Amino acid sequence: MLSTGLLLVSGCVAKSQSGDQGAPESALSGVSEIAEIEQNIGGRLGVGLIDGEGALILAHRGDERFALCSTFKAALASVLFAAHAAGTVDMFAKFALKPADRVPYMPFVDKKLAAKEPVSLHQLAGAAVMTSDNAAANLILKATGGPAEFTRFVRAQGDDVTRLDRIEPELNENAIGDPRDTTSPVAMARLIKKLALDDAALDIDKLTLQNWMKASKTGASRIRAGLPKGWPVGNKTGTAAGGIARNDIAIIWPATPEYAAKPVTLTVYVDRPMAPPEEVDAAMADVARIAARLISSSR
């Protein structure tokens, strides 16, 4: 674990609660680089990096609100798992899809509709995480109590920041100053750690979520692109139309002696960048490189 995590919030550097007086040069360099990346792409860049023990390694605008976009879908899978465990839904029961379920971007549901194949909520959860299928997410929300129940669920996990208020695609509006359908980088990093990693060895649902995130078909040019080869990673992206939000959240298994059995969570949220999408994705990969360097140099 990095002994002296630094927080860079709105341009201010503050020492973590470790109590150490010194600041590793690598951490100081990292926070400066993140600030420079933000300046280069324009808009706001939010970052949260949590180690395997729950300590905050690094944050930039870590407590500011950013649009969730599709990053909520990883936590939505856990909402479904909890509802199934409580007996309120049967996530393995098959049912027929309807044309009325259609919304923009639904690769899995569109294929199943065309084939007239029944599906289960469990299949839809996998599609929501792995392919970011919007119709799949909406159907899970409908079956589990909607956005209000999603928010209640994350509150029960100790997250008092993340909130879901609408369904796809309306939740991607990202209006200036609107707190609906938002999270913070640090809150999401902690939430994903709890839902996918904590006590996961004997929890098939958490292992399933990990595997779905590892199999994600979106985000190859974002966090994944900045990590060293040989570091397993699972991620969930989020994107708003018009480029007003581009996000990625990830679980990373660093191939280092200290972290091999203790994966970290990294979240990167970008709000209203001025740079084109490919440059924003490259910037997110650069943030991942900074995170990897901090992890690799920690003692």
pLDDT score of 275: 99
pLDDT of residue 298: 65
| pLDDT at site 260 | 64
Of the candidates 225, 255, 238, the one whose C-alpha atom is nearest the C-alpha of residue 192 is 238
So what's the pLDDT on residue 205?
97
What pLDDT is recorded for position 296?
A: 87
Question: Euclidean distance between the first and final Cα of the chain, in Å?
Answer: 7
Domain 6-67+161-297 annotated CATH 3.40.710.10: yes
Q: Where are the domains of the chain?
A: 6-67+161-297, 76-142
pLDDT at residue 119 in the model = 99
CB 67 within 8 A of CB 46: no
- Catalytic residue list: 70
pTM: 0.92
Which residue, 105, 130, 125, 122, is CA-closest to 235?
A: 130
> Which stretches of the chain score pLDDT less than 70?
1-28, 259-260, 298-299
Residue 27 is predicted with a pLDDT of 59
**Residue 41: predicted pLDDT:** 99
State the chain's maximal CA–CA distance in angstroms: 64
Q: What's the rounded Cα separation, in Å, for the pair 70 and 269?
A: 12
Supply angle C-alpha 64, 36, 20, rounded to 5. 70
CA angle 21, 23, 27 (to 5 degrees): 155
R_g of the chain, CA atoms, integer Å: 19
Beta bridge partners of 8: 13, 60
